[in-house]
Structure formats: structure tokens, C-alpha cells
Structure 1
């Protein structure tokens, strides 16, 4: 899966760079409620090299500082098709009991489980009055802020490039004027992560997020 997503990411980046100048630029920012289902974490324990493997029920805590948010830019190459770039600042926390059971005092990506993708978006204009439905897909990379502390005192605290990522989006925007619009959407992200921990440690996990976003966009 990592090799497939990496290959698709290269293709998406090449397509975006090669695209002609857009007739319309749309900038969007959003917040909302984000959750993450269970996933398995595994790796080498810092300082000992012992293997660990556990199922973690991640918590999102969308509104706790730093809050969940995202931003994107879309270049509409034609009225119904656009290419763009998007950054989502998601979060995942391992519950206390589950991380403690495998020897960790902290295990979270909370100053951003940051997902950066190059997107393709399809929209349907002038069919539903002021409403414009759209769908999108993107391929890119995960750049989480890895905050992990082992019970024996080793801590990882910093941003890492951990692997490939993908996103799917479906929503609709409501035009307030020729330039401004409100939008609501569902968004899914997937990332395959391999994080480095101190003293020969490692943490491997696939993370999925599900989010309901509300935001505002500006077109020019």
C-alpha cells in the first residue's frame, strides 16, 4: 500500500505542476469535528529493542488546543474541474490505559497529524441554484508532530515525514456573493506511518480520520 500511494503521489504532483494557469483561484479554510477509528501500532521499544504490538482506540479531541483545522487552494482549470493543494491539521491521542499497557507515558500526534495532499476536484455548477456540490480526491504525505514518551524515559518530540497519505472529500458550497461562499463537507484521510523513536525505537501505524468540516471560501 505504501508503494502504491507513493507512486500515485508522484503522478499527482507531476500533473499539478504541469497544469496550465487557472482561470479561477479558490482559497478555503475550515474547522470541524474529526475522529479516528482503532488501528494497530507496532515497533521496537526505545532502549531495549523489544517488540510491541497493540490495538489503539485513538481519540480525536477536535476542539482541544491545538484545534483541528485545514486549508486548501484550488485552481479551476475549467468550470467543473480543479487541481489544488491541501493541508489538514488533524490529531490523534492514545488513551492512557492502552498506551500504558505497552509501556508508554505519551503516544500522540497532537501538534498536528498533518496531511498534505495534491488534489483533483470535480464540481457541478449552475444546477442547484446557489448550492454547488463537489467531490475530490488527493494523494500526498503525512508530516505528524510525533510526541511519544516511553516509560523508561526516552522521548520523541518533533515533526517527521512518516509516509504516504490520501484523502477523499464530498460536500457542497453555498454562494454568498460572486467571491464568498460557505461550505460543508465530509472528509476521509488515510496515512501509512513509520515514525522514528529514540534509542533505536520505532512506531508503525496506519491512521484513518473521519471529519465533518464547515468552512468559508474566497474566489478570485
Structure 2
């Protein structure tokens, strides 16, 4: 009886929108509006400044508060908090079901630590960023990333609709009755070009900024169903759909060092194929002319391009996924802390043409 009550309580808790989630959604929407508004204002200000009378040579006020073109390369670490989301599962065995309001965890500090790397090219108040973010997203099966044992692991019970192997899907469903593993732990990767705008500096060293970007989700899809043999497991990188982010941060400059704290709101679509395949790497080559000492260090770097090439080949040939598909979306809020190095440019950006 206690187990039934606990399952019911879990379902009731899962089905009710969290006030905190609603609040952060509103904050994210407000930040997106703020980014757009700041960008419009900055463009208007640039037009007004450009149409003003030419400044006198050497007049420091003629230059932008952010006067140099510069490139910043950095890395960062963070810990995402995910919203719940529905997951649609389709398989050739008669399974066509939706798991409602599933929870996701980050397992952020299990290696590799969640975070990312990025390159920013600034030109005055405006910048362009290439941002690669690696996070983990793990369903609640009582385990951590890669199936490792964790203390007090939570196993969820979720409502379902649809069919499981041709029969009405049980609802509620104890997740471990269906799955051994469903996660994106190498990871929930997104590559997002992002437009940035700097705001008025708080001091010469403290520089706030905002940004919005659109890109692609390239997760490592790891799915195992209960009782199925390893040749039916999926364990590979895939392009899964579009992604976007809104960022708001503050940067501190110390010499050539760039240090920052930043809030990220990230949404990505996940439409993944269940292929029954593993990541391809150089280790899979059977060659007498490639020495193992060369293959081993490079093997991990070849997994993502190798997997994406196989995915492209499947698309081109029209091959259907052997084990079906999963479809969901991941929405996260995250505070990241990072640091990097600044390469100043040679040409300053001025608010107007400089007299000879």
C-alpha cells in the first residue's frame, strides 16, 4: 500500500507545473525581450553617432566605450537545471507511446564535467560568438550517467498514452519496467552561433553583456530497453534538431584575462534514431599500415564525425531506423563560470570618422 501511495504522490507531483519553473520561464522570456530591445537601441545609437559631426583628432570622447576589435577564447563550467518534458517513443514492434512529463537530471560533476568552450569576436559594442556547450541529461532510472550507481537514486513513475508492443501502455509506468538507460551523457551537446551586445560598463573592468543565438543539437544518444540484447542498444552521436539560447552575463577583465559569470537559457529539439549501433571510431579500422599508437589517441576525436557521416548516409539512402525513434525537447537554466584569454586587435572602433 505504501508503494502505491508513493507512486500516486509522484504522479501528482509530476503533473503539476512548478511555480519556480513558471517564474524562470518568465525571466527567460523577459531576458530575450531585453536582448532584442538592447540590440535595437544599440543599432539606433550607432546610426546617430555615425551621423554626428566628425570629432576632433585625439578626442577621447569620440571613441566607443568598447574601442577595440578583439578576440576572446575561453572555457567554462556549469550545472544545468532541466524542465520536465514529454517523450514520444515509436518502435517497429507496435510501440507508439508518449511518456508524459518526464524528469531529467544533469549529473554535472561526473566526468566529463558539464561546461563548454567558445570564441568571441568583438567589434566595439557588438560581438559574434561560436559557443559549444556540453551538458548531460539523464532520465530518472535510479542511476547516474552511464548507469553508475548513486546513493538514493530516484526511479520515476510516469503517465503514458498510446501502445506498448501493440497493447495499451500501462499508466502509470515504472520507468525501469521499460528502460535500462535513456540519457545524453557524452552529452547533450549544442553548437550555437550567438549575437552579443555589450551594455554600459559598470567600471573599466566590469562589462555586462547580453546575447541570443540559434544553432543545432548534436547529442550522444544512449538508449537501452529492458531485457534486450546489446546489439539493439543505441550508443552514438546524432544531429537531433535545432537549438537556441539566451545569455546574460558580466565579464571582468584583468590584463589579458577574461573572467565571467553568465546565465544561460537553452532549448533544444531532440528527434533521435534508435539504430542499434555504437559510435564509429578509428579503433574500428582493421589496418596493418596504421599503428595502434596513432589510432588510440585519435579514436575519441573521430566518433562524432564518424557518427554524423553514418547518419547522413542513412538519410541519403532513405534507411529507416532499425529500432525506432524518440522525440522530446530539453529546456534548461544554467549559471556558468568561465575564463579565457584576450587577443586585442590593431584597429580601434570609433564613434565616427577620424579627421586626418
The aligned counterpart of 1:35 is 81
Q: Is the 8 A contact 2:72 2:258 kept in 1?
A: no
User: How far 1:84 sits from its partner (Å)?
Assistant: 2.0
3-state SS in 2 of match to 1:23: strand
Report the Cα distance in structure 2 between the residues aligned to 1:67 and 1:126, rounded to whole angstroms: 31
Matches within 5 A, 1:105-184: 105-124=180-199, 126-153=201-228, 154-177=232-255, 179-184=256-261
The aligned counterpart of 2:121 is 75
Report the Cα distance in structure 2 between the residues aligned to 1:136 and 1:62, rounded to whole angstroms: 24
User: How far 1:126 sits from its partner (Å)?
Assistant: 4.2
The runs of 4+ residues in structure 1 deviating greater than 3 Å are: none
Q: Output one character per residue of 1:52-101: Cα deviation in whole Å (capped at 9) or x when no partner.
A: 2112110111111221011111111x210011211000110000133725
Q: Output one character per residue of 1:13-69: Cα deviation in whole Å (capped at 9) or x when no partner.
A: xxxxxxxxx931111210022121111111213x51411211211011111122101
The match for 1:192 among 258, 265, 269 is 269
3-state SS in 1 of match to 2:175: helix
User: How far 1:127 sits from its partner (Å)?
Assistant: 4.2
The aligned counterpart of 2:328 is 205
The aligned counterpart of 2:131 is 86
Report the Cα distance in structure 1 between the residues aligned to 2:185 and 2:270, rounded to whole angstroms: 15
Higher-Rg structure is 2
Runs of 5+ consecutive residues of structure 2 not aligned to the other structure: 1-67, 142-154, 157-173, 276-321, 344-356
Aligned length: 196
Runs of 5+ consecutive residues of structure 1 not aligned to the other structure: 1-21
Report the Cα distance in structure 1 between the residues aligned to 2:79 and 2:176, rounded to whole angstroms: 28
Report the Cα distance in structure 2 between the residues aligned to 1:148 and 1:52, rounded to whole angstroms: 16
With 92-101 and 165-174 compared, the bigger mean Cα shift is at: 92-101
CA 1:152–1:48 in structure 2 vs 1: closer, same or farther (change >3 Å)?
farther
Structure with the higher fraction of residues in strand conformation = 1
Let me know the Cα RMSD of the aligned residues.
1.7
Q: Is the 8 A contact 2:176 2:226 kept in 1?
A: no
Q: Is the 8 A contact 2:201 2:208 kept in 1?
A: no
TM-score after normalising by structure 2: 0.53
User: How far 1:124 sits from its partner (Å)?
Assistant: 2.7
The aligned counterpart of 2:112 is 66
